[in-house]
Structure 1
Amino acid sequence: MKWEYLVVETTLDSAALGELGAEGWELVAVVSPAHFVLHYFFKRQLRA
């Protein structure tokens, strides 16, 4: 199985998270490298 990855470096609300989920993205981690900064890491199966 092969994966593709997406990193989002802006704050996401529940609607944006829902849209990404509808596109097949799975949230795998949220990291805060600095105060008030969030990075979201997503993966989904690579489409042929």
Structure 2
Amino acid sequence: MKWEYLVVETALDSVALRELGAEGWELVTVVSPAHFVLHYFFKREARA
């Protein structure tokens, strides 16, 4: 199985998270490298 990844470096609300989920993206983790900064890491099965 192969995966593709997406990193989002802007704040996401519940609507944006639902839209990404509908596209098959699974939230793996959220990292805060600086104060008030969030990076969201997503994965989904690669589409051939």
TM-score range (shorter-chain normalised) is over 0.9
CA-to-partner distance for each residue in 1:11-48, whole Å, 9 max, x for gaps?
Answer: 00000000000000000000000000000000000001
Size of the aligned set, in residue pairs, is 48
Alignment of 1:1-48 (within 5 A): 1-48=1-48
Q: Secondary structure, in 3 states, of the residue corresponding to 2:4?
A: strand
- Identical-residue share of aligned pairs (%): 88
TM-score, with structure 2 as normaliser: 0.99
TM-score, with structure 1 as normaliser: 0.99
Q: Secondary structure, in 3 states, of the residue corresponding to 1:17?
A: helix
Q: Structure 2: how far apart are the matches of 1:47 and 1:37?
A: 30
Q: CA RMSD in A?
A: 0.2
Unmatched runs of 5 consecutive residues or more in structure 1: none
The list of structure 1 runs, each at least 4 consecutive aligned residues, that deviate by more than 6 angstroms after superposition, is none
